[in-house]
C-alpha cells in the first residue's frame, strides 16, 4: 500500500515523487519507457522566465523561475550549471516587446559583455537582448535523482480502479492518492474535456571547438559549453505525434533545422553530433498548465442543480474523482514549472491548501460543457 502512485516519470512525475518522499510518504512511480525517456529527456532543460507582454503565463513563470532556480541549486547543485542567460529578439517586433519588458520587470537584468555580443551573427547584434543569471540542468540525471526514493516500476498502467477508498493499479498495486503526469500520451483515465497538445521535441548534443559561456536563446536554445560539448534544442513540431503520425520522425531533417537556426545566432565550428534526444511534450490549449483534481464529466453533467451555461462557474459544485489529480501541460517550460507546481499540488493533497483556479483542470470542463 502506497501513499501516492504517480503515472508518468518525466520532470512532473519526478518532482511529485520528490515532494512526497521528502514528506516521508511511500511513493510508487510508473512509466512505460523509464525515467525521463520521453519529452523530458529530450528537453534542453533551460531554467528561464518567459519574456513576453503581461499575462497569466508570464506571471506564473516569473514565480516558478525564481523558485526552481533556487530549488535546484539547494537540492541538486551537482546537476545544475549556472550560467548567464542571453535572450535575443527574433525580429524588430520582438525587440520592441523586450524593450517594454525591461521597463517593467522586477528581475535583476545584466548587461552582456561586449566580447560575447561581438561573437553573435551581425544581424543578431542589431536586435534587442536581455541577460540575467540563470542556468540549465541535466534533464536525465535530475529526474533520476528526484525519483530515487520512490519505488519505480517500468510498467504500462492499463487499469486504474477506485475501490473502497483505495486506488488499485493494474490489479496489483494500491495507493491512497494518484497523480497523472503522462504528458500528451494516452492517459488511463479519459475525459473529453482534457485536450492536451502534443509538442515534439528534438535536442542534439554536439562537440565543437566554439566556446560558449552563456545559455543563448533566439531561434533555438544553445547551452553553455561543458568539456567541449553543448546542446542545441529543442525544436518544436506541433504536427508530429508518435502515436498518430503515419511516418516516423525525420531525425536528419530535425538536426539540419537545429543547426541552421543556431547559425543565425552565431557560428559553430568543427561540429560533431554526439547524440539525438527526441520526445513528446504536452501543452494545453490556453497555454497554462493543469494542476489539481479531475472532474467526472458524466456525473457532473447528470447533476440537474448545476448550470453549465454559467461563464463564472462554481468549481466546488462539480463532481470529482476521489483522490485523483493531474500535473500536466507545461509545454517547453517543464523544468521551470515542475518543482514549483509539484510543491503546490503536494501541499494541496497533504494539507488541503488551495490551488489557483487558473491552474485547475476544472476550467476546461466548464468550457467543454457549454459547447456540448
Q: Which residues pair with 130 in a beta bridge?
A: 87
CA distances 367 to 4, 113, 170, 224, 319, Å, are: 30, 48, 32, 43, 16
Q: Provide the sign of the torsion angle of the four alpha carbons 109, 111, 116, 118, taken in this order.
A: positive
* CA 142 to chain CA mean position, Å: 14
Identify the CA nearest to 225 among candidates 252, 251, 207: 207
| pLDDT of amino acid 66 | 97
Q: What is the pTM of this model?
A: 0.95
Cell output for 173: 498495486
Q: CA-based Rg of the chain, rounded to a whole angstrom?
A: 21
Residues 344 and 355 sit within 8 Å (Cβ to Cβ): yes
Q: Candidates 1.10.8.60, 3.70.10.10, 3.30.9.10, 1.10.10.10; correct CATH number of 81-137+201-281?
A: 3.30.9.10
Please enumerate in sequence order all residues whose Cβ is within 8 A of that of 308, keeping only pairs 6 or more positions apart, or say none: 301, 366, 369, 370
For residue 115, cis peptide bond before it (omega within 30 degrees of 0) = no
pLDDT, one tens digit per residue, over 238-293 is 678 887 888 899 999 999 999 999 999 999 999 999 999 999 889 999 999 999 99
| pLDDT of amino acid 367 | 87
What DSSP string describes 116-174?
HHTTS-HHHHTS-EEEEEEEEE-HHHHHHHHTTTSEEEE-----EEEETTEEEETTTEE
Of all helices (H) and strands (E), which one includes residue 180? strand 173-180
Identify the CA nearest to 143 among candidates 6, 306, 268, 257: 6
pLDDT, one tens digit per residue, over 184-210 is 877 899 999 998 988 899 999 999 999
**Domain residue ranges of the chain, discontinuous segments joined by +:** 2-38+142-196+285-371, 81-137+201-281
Give the separation between CA 106 and CA 120, rounded to whole angstroms: 27
Cell output for 197: 497538445
Q: Residue 62 phi/psi, 5° resolution? A: -65, -45
For cell 490549449, name the residue.
Answer: 285
Give the separation between CA 274 and CA 281, rounded to whole angstroms: 23
How does pLDDT run along the chain (372 residues), one tens digit per residue?
999 999 999 999 999 999 999 999 999 999 999 999 989 999 999 999 999 888 899 999 999 999 999 999 999 999 999 999 999 999 999 999 999 999 989 999 999 999 999 999 999 999 999 999 999 999 999 999 999 999 999 999 999 999 999 999 999 999 999 999 998 877 899 999 998 988 899 999 999 999 999 999 999 999 999 999 999 987 677 678 887 888 899 999 999 999 999 999 999 999 999 999 999 889 999 999 999 999 999 999 998 777 777 778 889 999 999 999 999 999 989 999 999 999 999 999 999 999 999 999 999 998 898 887
| pLDDT of amino acid 307 | 76
Residues 102 and 37 sit within 8 Å (Cβ to Cβ): no
Fold of 2-38+142-196+285-371: FAD/NAD(P)-binding domain (3.50.50)
Residues 179 and 7 sit within 8 Å (Cβ to Cβ): yes
Give the separation between CA 354 and CA 292, rounded to whole angstroms: 10
- Can you give the length of the chain in residues? 372
Q: Provide the sign of the torsion angle of the four alpha carbons 283, 284, 286, 292, taken in this order.
A: negative
| pLDDT of amino acid 335 | 97
Amino acid at each position: 500500500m502506497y501513499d501516492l502512485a504517480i503515472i508518468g516519470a518525466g520532470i512532473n512525475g519526478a518532482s511529485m515523487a520528490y515532494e512526497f518522499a521528502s514528506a516521508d510518504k511511500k511513493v510508487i512511480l510508473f512509466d512505460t519507457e523509464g525515467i525521463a525517456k520521453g519529452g523530458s529527456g529530450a528537453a534542453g532543460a533551460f531554467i528561464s522566465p518567459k519574456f513576453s507582454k503581461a499575462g497569466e503565463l508570464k506571471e506564473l513563470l516569473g514565480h516558478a523561475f525564481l523558485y526552481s532556480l533556487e530549488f535546484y541549486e539547494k537540492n541538486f547543485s551537482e546537476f545544475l550549471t549556472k550560467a548567464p542567460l542571453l535572450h535575443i529578439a527574433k525580429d524588430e517586433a520582438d525587440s520592441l516587446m523586450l524593450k517594454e519588458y525591461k521597463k517593467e520587470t522586477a528581475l535583476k537584468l545584466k548587461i552582456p559583455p561586449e566580447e560575447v555580443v561581438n561573437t553573435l551573427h551581425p544581424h543578431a547584434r542589431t536586435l534587442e537582448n536581455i541577460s540575467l543569471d540563470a542556468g540549465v540542468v541535466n534533464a536525465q540525471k535530475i529526474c533520476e535523482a528526484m525519483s530515487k526514493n520512490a519505488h519505480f516500476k517500468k510498467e504500462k498502467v492499463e487499469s486504474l480502479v477506485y475501490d473502497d477508498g483505495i486506488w488499485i493499479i493494474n490489479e496489483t498495486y494500491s495507493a491512497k492518492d494518484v497523480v497523472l503526469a503522462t504528458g500528451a500520451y494516452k492517459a488511463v483515465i479519459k475525459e473529453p474535456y482534457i485536450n492536451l497538445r502534443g509538442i515534439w521535441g528534438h535536442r542534439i548534443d554536439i562537440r565543437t571547438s566554439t566556446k560558449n559561456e552563456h545559455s543563448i536563446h533566439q531561434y533555438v536554445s544553445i547551452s553553455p559549453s561543458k568539456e567541449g560539448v553543448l546542446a542545441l534544442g529543442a525544436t518544436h513540431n506541433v504536427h508530429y505525434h508518435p502515436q498518430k503520425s503515419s511516418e516516423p520522425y525525420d531525425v536528419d531533417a530535425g538536426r539540419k533545422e537545429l543547426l541552421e537556426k543556431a547559425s543565425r545566432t552565431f557560428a559553430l565550428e568543427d561540429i560533431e553530433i554526439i547524440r539525438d534526444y527526441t520526445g513528446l511534450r504536452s501543452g494545453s490549449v490556453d497555454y497554462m498548465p493543469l494542476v489539481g483534481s479531475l472532474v467526472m464529466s458524466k456525473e457532473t453533467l447528470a447533476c440537474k442543480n448545476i448550470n453549465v451555461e454559467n461563464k463564472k462557474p462554481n468549481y466546488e459544485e462539480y463532481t470529482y474523482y476521489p483522490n485523483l489529480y493531474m500535473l500536466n501541460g507545461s509545454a517547453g517550460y517543464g523544468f521551470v514549472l515542475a518543482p514549483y507546481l509539484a510543491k503546490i499540488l503536494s501541499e494541496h493533497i497533504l494539507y488541503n491548501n488551495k490551488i489557483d483556479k487558473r491552474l485547475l483542470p476544472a476550467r476546461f470542463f466548464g468550457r467543454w460543457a457549454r459547447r456540448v
